[in-house]
Amino acid sequence: MRWQPARLDPTGDNGWALVHCQQGFLFDHRGVLFPRDWLKRLNLPLISEQGLGYFEGEPVFLFELAHQAEVPGASWQGLRQFMLQDEDVDRFRMLGFAAQIGTWVNQHRFCGRCGQPMRQHPSERAMQCSACGIHHYPRISPSMIVLVTRGDELLLARSPRFAPGVYSTLAGFVEPGESVEQCVIREVQEEVGVAIHTPHYICSQGWPFPHSLMLGFHAEYAGGDIVIQPEEIEDAGWFHIERLPALPAPKSIARYLIELYLARRSGAAEPMLPS
């Protein structure tokens, strides 16, 4: 594995750095990693610097910026575009981790209890308030994603946020006090109005948009007609396995759930788990 997260001391100038702001990364013709000492000579609107880990044995740090500054010879690109274009799984895992850490740091610059500035904890990956002592650790929001099936048909839906023509599985965030299985049943009922049998867990994927852990399920249709939740769903329907619409990106857990079901239905080899 070429990417290994680790907590690194940001003192000194050695190593490489990623530059992140608002789910976007700075890149040039050489890629997304820049010499750290060179970046420090630029007048960047730096919020925080975080030690991330090692890529191909070299230390990597994160420069989290207040806004997307112009850097000669470089451009900004969104994390989703890197996911769609980059075949390098380890590099995308590094970018996903960096995006989550950068978002967390940006959102915890001030204490939510007393309003005082937060600072990095000296021995943990945490933000600490010197005034009241509260700690904030990187945020992970549990969410579920489920493929609902009815024999040779898949229940797929599209959000207004999707690329044109793309349909996907159903997803939603876990509410306080409920299990993930309860969340699956509730979200399916809310979003498309149908009932399902007991959902079965398949796999999970860290989903850095911006800080979710997606827990993937499969569930069989139990009854009811599709009635979409208009504020969440633009369209939904049953699609035969031989007449599927445009599907989510190959690296996504949604695509994996679909391809896994298709493979099991046909007896083909099962796809690789998403990284």
Domain CATH code at residue 150: 3.90.79.10
Q: What letter does residue 161 receive in the DSSP assignment?
A: T
Residue 129 in domain: no
Number of domains in the chain: 2
The pLDDT of 185-206, averaged and rounded, is 97
Domain CATH code at residue 81: 3.90.79
CA torsion 154→191→248→271, rounded to 10°? -50
Contact 254, 207 (CB under 8 A): no
Q: Is the pLDDT of residue 274 over 80?
A: no
User: Which residues are annotated binding-site positions?
Assistant: 80, 111, 114, 124, 129, 132, 137, 171, 187, 191, 205-212, 232, 254
Bridge partners for 165 per DSSP: none
SS3 category, 80:
helix
> pLDDT, tens digit, for every residue of 4-42?
999 998 887 789 999 999 999 999 999 999 999 999 999
> pLDDT, tens digit, for every residue of 217-238?
999 999 999 999 999 999 999 9
Q: How far is Cα 193 from Cα 226, in angstroms, rounded to an integer?
A: 5
Phi, psi of 221 (to 5 degrees): -60, 135
Q: Which residue has the tokens 């898949």?
A: 154
User: Any residues with CB less than 8 A from the CB of 57 and at least 6 apart, and which?
Assistant: none
Q: Is the pLDDT of residue 105 over 90?
A: yes
- The parent domain of residue 191 ranges over 141-266
Q: Is the pLDDT of residue 275 over 70?
A: no
Same domain, 149 and 258: yes
Same domain, 161 and 92: no
Phi, psi of 173 (to 5 degrees): -90, 145
Q: Is the pLDDT of residue 102 over 80?
A: yes
User: Any residues with CB less than 8 A from the CB of 174 and at least 6 apart, and which?
Assistant: 141, 142, 143, 144, 180, 183
Tokens of 49: 């610097």
User: Which residues are annotated binding-site positions for a divalent metal cation?
Assistant: 171, 187, 191, 232
User: Which residues are annotated binding-site positions for Zn(2+)?
Assistant: 111, 114, 129, 132
Q: What is the DSSP string of 16-56?
A: EEEEEETTEEEEBTTBS-EEHHHHHTS---EEEEEEEEEET
Q: Which residue has the tokens 């690296």?
A: 251
Residue 122 in domain: no
Q: Is the pLDDT of residue 43 over 80?
A: yes
**CA dist 156 to 118, 138, 220, 252, Å?**
43, 32, 13, 15
pLDDT value of position 48: 94
Residue 20 in domain: yes
Residue 177 in domain: yes
Same domain, 99 and 145: no
Same domain, 98 and 163: no
Residue 128 in domain: no
Cα-Cα-Cα-Cα dihedral sign, residues 124, 128, 134, 140? negative
Same domain, 11 and 102: yes
Domain end residue (candidates: 65, 92, 107): 107
**CA dist 244 to 16, 217, 233, 254, Å?**
43, 20, 18, 14
The radius of gyration computed from the CA coordinates of the chain, to the nearest angstrom, equals: 21
Cα-Cα-Cα-Cα dihedral sign, residues 209, 135, 65, 57? negative
User: Is residue 255 exposed (0-12), middle (13-18) or buried (19+ Cβ within 10 Å)?
Assistant: middle
Residue 192 in domain: yes
SS3 category, 7:
coil
User: Which residues are annotated binding-site positions for substrate?
Assistant: 80, 124, 137, 205-212, 254
> pLDDT, tens digit, for every residue of 112-161?
999 999 999 988 999 999 999 999 999 999 999 999 999 999 999 999 98
Residue 119 in domain: no
Residue 133 in domain: no
Neighbours of 11 (CB within 10 A): 8
**Start-end of H helices in the chain:** 36-40, 79-85, 89-107, 180-192, 253-266
Same domain, 164 and 253: yes
> pLDDT, tens digit, for every residue of 239-262?
999 999 999 988 899 999 999 999
Q: What is the mean pLDDT of the chain?
A: 94
